[in-house]
Amino acid sequence: MSIPFYDFPSSPILIIGALGITVAILVFFVAYQKYFNSPMNRELTKKKKALIEERTELNERLLKIEQDLKNL
């Protein structure tokens, strides 16, 4: 009984194709990271604004609670 073994062809077209796929994946990854970490990203700015507003509301509520506790 023999174990089948696949001999990978060393064709230059296959090597160039594999390198092309690798480069495409790297370009996609870098572009994705740059876009979502960009200050021009609208979704990121909206989220940041919402979080800042929520923080100010929470700070105001905390101050009111502290004042209520002092008044007790």
- The single-letter DSSP state of residue 39 is T
Q: Where are the domains of the chain?
A: 11-39, 41-72
Residue 39: predicted pLDDT: 79
Average pLDDT over residues 61-69: 94
pLDDT at 67 over 90: yes
pLDDT, one tens digit per residue, over 12-52 is 888 899 999 999 999 999 998 888 888 788 888 899 999 99
With H, G, I as helix, E, B as strand and everything else as coil, classify residue 47. helix
Contact 61, 55 (CB under 8 A): no
Q: Could you say which DSSP state residue 69 is in?
A: H
Residue 56 vs residues 39, 53, 68: alpha-carbon distances, Å: 22, 5, 18
Judged by DSSP in three states, 23 sits in: helix
Residue 34: its pLDDT value, please? 87
